[in-house]
Amino acid sequence: MKAVVYIESSVISYLTARPSRDVVTAARQAITSEWWYNHKQRYEVFISALVEEEIASGDATAAQRRIEAVADIPSLGITPEAQELAQVFGWKGCSGK
């Protein structure tokens, strides 16, 4: 049985963003890409509807890259507890879809 990993939106952003000139951001992008292409298959990977909403926002071209990157990843539904947690952490975009 594979371990389960929840993919948060910043992982997807690091994966699909243009290469950064900032050394810390560039390192995060490189680490993310390495894990995504060489290790992700070892895990049962999920995103959530909240992540889908977040990665679909912003620049249309960048959003499309993010959406395509997770096209084959199952999405978890939004529970009332998840909505509460999102609000606690300040994310106001939770539509409950």
Q: What is the pLDDT of residues 17-64, one digit of tens each?
A: 999 999 999 999 999 999 999 999 999 999 998 899 999 999 999 999
State residue 83's pLDDT score: 80
Residues in the chain: 97
> What is the Cα 34 distance to its own chain's centre?
15
- The residue type found at 30 is A
State residue 50's pLDDT score: 84
The answer to whether residues 43 and 2 touch, using CB atoms and an 8 Å cutoff, is: yes
φ/ψ (deg, to 5) at 75: -110, 135
Distance in angstroms between the alpha carbons of the first and the last residue of the chain: 30
Task: Name the residue among 33, 9, 37, 8 with its Cα closest to residue 20.
Answer: 33
Q: What percent of the chain has pLDDT over 90?
A: 74
φ/ψ (deg, to 5) at 3: -70, 150
State residue 97's pLDDT score: 43
The answer to whether residues 82 and 48 touch, using CB atoms and an 8 Å cutoff, is: yes
Residue 93 has pLDDT above 70, yes or no: no
Residue 81 has pLDDT above 90, yes or no: no
